[in-house]
Structure 1
Amino acid sequence: MSILLGLALSSPFLTLPAPALGQPAAITQAVDQARRRSSCLSLRCNDEEWRLASDRSLHGQASGWRTSANARLPGQRSWARLRAPARPRDSTHNYSNKWRVGTQYGLQVLRDGPSRLGVEFGAGYRLAPRSDDGIRSTGPVFRGSIDFGRNFGERARWSQHVLFETGDGQTFVKQTLGLDIQLWPDWTLETDYVIRHRTSGASGTETAESWLGIRRQF
């Protein structure tokens, strides 16, 4: 017993408080705790998690060994919560090109999940006519669009885009339908069908065209 007591008191690798002499039960408990802590691989093995419960007024317990509630085990770290900023659903931007200038407001109605739905509208001034993008005269115009898309699995995607512009007694509507199917990792089958409707006064014209092709990404 004296040999075990000497090891418990003099070993530089043990940091447990030494029990009082003449208490066999305390000596046995200290040696048992030393054996349990002998396999610590941390660079800092101390007794922060052990305290002598001698203050009965605070804990109401008899003197002895216990584990502290605020113990920090080796390797324990505090984690910081990361929060990504939310993306706004609406946006406003001004634009200008050689055909028109104006401002536009957009709203993403659906953007999470397999379906996507967005709307845009705004006012502008047409500088030059363009046959496939608006009315055939210059002046103030009101312009908007509806964009819808849906994914079917991981390889197929359906898209539908409707563009309209009105001004000077004319109306232009362009609808584009598309279906893209991924055949291989770098090869995609693309199909487009475009319908253009133009109204000027009481008369109107309508044209349509389609396209089918395979696109390869490099």
Structure 2
Amino acid sequence: MSAVLGLALFSPFLTLPTPALGEPVMIEQAIVQARRRGSCLSLRCNDAEWRLASAIELHGRATDWRSTAPSLPGQRHWVRLSAPARAREHRDNYSNRWRIGTLYGIQVLRDGPVQLGVEFGAGYRLAPRSDDGIGQAGPVFRGSIDFGRQFGERARLSQHVLFETGNGQSFVKQSLGLDIDLWPAWTLETDYVIRHRTYGASGSETAESWLGIRRRF
């Protein structure tokens, strides 16, 4: 009787229909559901998933809970994002203490064991002999070629060719390297660099090499 009396007193404040008298099971279910609603302090109450399931069955199609949940003022909408593929081409404008100019590059090969990239552009050299390049200030044409080849999981061969020309001079730098993974944190590195400068009919050439073991921490 106490349960029936409580439902009769508080039935105007509940959204549930009052069960018929003499049905203890229905009365008990109504009391449990009323307690759940009374103690719900979140935006989704305990019986929200049952309403969602009923709506899905009614419309006959699968529905995402983000699209069926009620929206609140100031609430952000869900947006499905997709990661686009990396572009093969890139453009760059640069300026430093030695040069200013523009650069265009393209990755010809990048997804297999062989990688090939090309860059070229025009600029103006401000300071001669400050970096790899010609020994006179003025307009220049500059570019590079990068080649890489992976051998299995441990060895990689890389070659970088840099060139710059302008004012009757030219500069070429070739770098050849071979890296071999000995252990997970140890790598055997070899580098061989050749620099060639041309001044009119004459020129000069220098070479240097390096061999060492590098440990990664």
Percent identity of equivalent pairs? 76
Counterpart residue number, 1:213: 212
Structure 2 residues without counterparts, runs of 5 or longer: 1-25, 27-48, 63-79
With structure 2 as the length reference, what TM-score do the two structures score?
Answer: 0.63
For 1:1-150, list aligned pairs within 5 A: 83-130=82-129, 133-150=132-149
Distance (Å, rounded) in 2 between the aligned partners of 1:162 and 1:132: 15
Counterpart residue number, 2:155: 156
Q: Aligned residues, how many?
A: 160
Higher helix residue share: 2
With structure 1 as the length reference, what TM-score do the two structures score?
Answer: 0.63
Structure 1 residues without counterparts, runs of 5 or longer: 1-11, 13-42, 51-69, 73-80
Over 3 Å counting, the alpha-carbon distance change for 1:47 and 1:158 in structure 2 is same
- Find the residue that maps to 2:205 and give its secondary structure: strand
Quote the offset at 1:83 in angstroms: 3.8
Over 3 Å counting, the alpha-carbon distance change for 1:205 and 1:83 in structure 2 is same
The alignment's C-alpha RMSD in Å is 3.1
Distance (Å, rounded) in 1 between the aligned partners of 2:116 and 2:191: 19
Counterpart residue number, 1:66: none
Over 3 Å counting, the alpha-carbon distance change for 1:107 and 1:47 in structure 2 is closer
Over 3 Å counting, the alpha-carbon distance change for 1:142 and 1:187 in structure 2 is same
Report runs of 4+ in structure 1 exceeding 2 Å deviation: 81-84
The structure that has the greater radius of gyration is 1
- Find the residue that maps to 2:102 and give its secondary structure: strand
Quote the offset at 1:186 in angstroms: 1.1
Residue 178 in 1 paired to residue 177 in 2?
yes
> Does the CA-based 8 Å contact 2:116-2:147 persist in structure 1?
yes
Quote the offset at 1:114 in angstroms: 1.1
